[in-house]
Amino acid sequence: MSLAPDPADIFDAVGTVNSEPTVFIQSAQAPDMAVTAATINGAPAQILPQGRVKMPKLRSGVNSVMFVTIGATAGADVVLFEDGGPAAPSKLKEKTFGGGRTGVNPVIGFDINAS
């Protein structure tokens, strides 16, 4: 795996420049949540089966991934994972969905710092 939780808790995860991690999100409070779209550094990303997002080679500095979802609820905890392939996924960061005009903001973002 190429990502890890940020020990300084400044970023949502840290990684290595040029690595190509596959990430996904899950929520125990919103088990029906699904990812409908994603962007990486502002560019559209392809959604793979099971809501996975294959990131392009990480550039030096901050790499932002934004997930657009359906089925989430305000206050639900959302966890960012790196897909471990045959190994268990790696938990990177937990955040909480905020409220919006319709009850929940369906977009949640994570910043990955690569060096």
Domain of residue 106, residue span? 3-114
CB 14 within 8 A of CB 62: no
Q: How many domains does the chain have?
A: 1
- Whether the per-residue pLDDT at 104 is higher than 80: the answer is no
Residue 8 and residue 34: Cα distance in Å, rounded?
30
H-run or E-run covering 102:
none
| pTM score | 0.91
Percent of the chain predicted with pLDDT > 90:
74
Burial label, 74 (beta-carbon count in 10 A; 0-12, 13-18, 19+): middle
- Whether the per-residue pLDDT at 8 is higher than 90: the answer is yes
Which residue has tokens 């206050």? 75
* pLDDT tens string 24-74: 999 998 888 999 999 999 999 999 999 999 999 999 999 999 999 998 877
